[in-house]
Structure 1
Amino acid sequence: MLTIYGVYRSRASRNYWLAGELGLPFVSVPVVQARRLDDPLAVDAPLNTRSPDFLSVNPTGLIPCIDDGGFVMTESLAINLYLARKHGGPLAGRTLTEEAEMLQWTMWAATEVEPHAVKIVLTFDANAAESEQGRLTIRAAAKALKTSFRRLDQHLAATGHVVGDRFTVADLNLAEVFRYAMGQPALFEDAPHVKAWLERCQARPAFRAMMETRQLELE
C-alpha cells in the first residue's frame, strides 16, 4: 500500500493528484509544515515536519514523501515520475525518448520556473502582495518568468501537450508548478496556449477531486 506523507496544502498535492489519475489506493498521513505552528515540538502539536515520528521516516524533514511498500522517496516531482513509470498507462512514457523528455521538462520546471513562481504564491500567502516589498518581489518574479512562459507557449502551440500526444505525468508536474503563478494573470494572457493548457489540466476529475479535499483542510 502506498503511503503519502503531507497535507494537501503543500507540494504533496502533486502526488495526491497523480494517485487519483492512476486510481491508486493510498493512505494519507497528514504532516503539517512546522513553520505553520507556534511550537512544533509541543506535546499536543499535530504531526509536523519537525516531529520525531516523521523524522524517523524522512530525516530531511520535508514534505511530501512516500513509503511505497518499504521504499521511501522524497521530492514531489520525482515521486510522480517514479509512480507513473511503475504503474504505466498513458501517463507514463511509451518510449525511452518520451521518458527522457518527461525528465527534461520536469527538471526545467523545477529549476527555471518554480523558484520564481513560488515567490508569487508565498507573497500572497503572507498577505504581503499589497506592501511595497511584496509588489517588488512579485514584479521581479513575473519578469523572470516571461521567458519560461514564452518557451512553453511555443511548445504547446505545436503539440498541445508537454510530451507526446496525450496528457502525461509531464503535464501534471508542470501544471502544478505553473499553478503557483496564477496570481499573475497577465503572464497567462501573454501565453494563450499555456493558459488553455492549464485550464484543460485543471478540468480533469482527479485534479478537481484533489482540490476539493485541499479546500477542506484548515489553513
Structure 2
Amino acid sequence: MANPIKIIGASLSQNVRKPLAVAHHLGLDVESVMAAPGDDTIKAANPSGRIPAMDDNGFHLSESVAIMIYLAGKAGNALYPEDVQTRALVNQWLFWDVAHWTPAYQPIQFERAIKPMLDMGDPDETVVAAALAKFEREATLLNAALDGKDWLGGGEPTLADFAAGAGLTYAAPMELPLDDYPNIKAWNGRVMGLEGFKKTAQGQ
C-alpha cells in the first residue's frame, strides 16, 4: 500500500497551502509535513531548501504550481482542463500568479502579517506603500477578469483559482483594500469556501 503524498513546508506559507488545498479538494491521501526553509527534511526532497516540496513515495517535486499540476494529473478532474484553450488560460493565470500577483502582495504580507506573527517588530509602511501600488495594479486586472464570472477559468474552479486565491490567505491582517475590488472580494469568499481551503485553514 502506498504511503500518503507528503507536502513539506511551513504550514503558515500560502505557497504550501496551494498544493495542500488542491490535494484535499481532490480527495487524495496527503500528509502535511512541517519544515522550515533549509531544513534537512526539505533538502531531502528539494536540494534548494525552498518550500514547498513534495514526496510521492520517492518521487520528489518542488515549486508550488508544478506540484499542483502534478496532483491534478493524479485523477480525472476539472482543475486542469483538457481543452487546449481552457488549459492555456489556466496556465496564463498560473504564470501571472508567480510573476506578478505573488511579488505584488508578498512584501505586504511579510510586513503586516508575518512580522507580527514572529515578533519581528513593526511593519515598515514605506515598503507597504510601494507594494500596495503594485498590488492595486494587479488587483485591477484581476477584478476586471472576474467581472460576470464566478471563477477565473469560467464555470468551475481550476488551478488558477487555487493559485491566485491562496495569495489572499492573510488578506485581513494585511489590510488589503478588497472593498475597492468587489469582484475579487466575492470570488475570495467562494475560494475560501472550497473544501480544500477549509481543510487547510489555520487550526485545521
Structure 1: unaligned runs, 5 residues or longer? 34-48
Q: 1:204 to 1:54 in 2, by over 3 A?
A: closer
Task: State the match for 1:207 in structure 2.
Answer: 197
* Residue-by-residue CA offset, 1:130-153 (whole Å, 9 max, x unaligned): 95x711111111111112111111
Given candidates 5, 10, 15, the residue that maps to 2:8 is: 5
The answer to whether residue 39 in structure 2 is matched with residue 50 in structure 1 is yes
Q: Report matched runs for 1:45-194 at 5 Å.
A: 49-51=38-40, 53-124=41-112, 125-127=114-116, 131=122, 134-182=124-172, 183-186=174-177, 188-194=178-184
Cα distance change on mapping 1:50 and 1:171 into 2, 3 Å: same
The TM-score normalised by the length of structure 1 is: 0.81
In the aligned structure 2, how far is the partner of 1:174 from the partner of 1:122?
A: 17
1:92 and 1:69 map into 2 onto residues whose CA distance is: 23
Displacement over 4 Å in runs of 4+: 128-131
Q: What does the per-residue CA deviation read over 1:107-152, in whole Å, with 9 as the maximum and x for residues that have no partner?
A: 1011111112011111122139995x71111111111111211111
Shift of 1:81: 2.0
For normalisation by structure 2, the TM-score amounts to 0.86
Distance, in Å, in 2 between the alignment partners of 1:205 and 1:86 is 18
Does the aligned pair in 2 maintain the 1:73–1:79 contact within 8 Å? yes
Deviates more, 1:165-174 or 1:1-10: 1-10
RMSD: 2.2
Contact 1:8 1:16 in 2 (8 A): no
Q: Report the secondary structure of 2:156's partner residue.
A: coil
CA distance in 2, matches of 1:54, 1:148: 31
Task: Go from structure 1 to structure 2 and tell me whether the alpha carbon gap of 1:164 and 1:210 turns closer, same or farther (over 3 Å shift).
Answer: same
Contact map agreement 1:19 1:25 (CA 8 A) in 2: yes
Query: SS state of the match for residue 185, structure 1?
Result: coil
1:114–1:178 contact (8 Å) kept in structure 2:
no
Gaps in structure 2 of 5+ consecutive residues? none
Separation (CA, whole Å) in 2 of partners of 1:111 and 1:181: 19
Contact 2:42 2:51 in 1 (8 A): no
1:45-76 per-position Cα deviation (integer Å, ceiling 9, x unaligned): xxxx232x542332111111112243211011
Determine the C-alpha separation between the residues in 2 that align with 1:129 and 1:74. 28
Larger Rg belongs to: 1
CA 1:146–1:130 in 2, change beyond 3 Å: closer, same or farther?
Answer: farther
Task: Tell me the equivalent position of 1:195.
Answer: 185
Aligned residues: 196
Q: How much does 1:172 deviate? A: 0.8
Percent of residue pairs identical: 26
Residue 35 (structure 2) aligns with = 31
Structure 1 residue 15: deviation in Å? 1.4
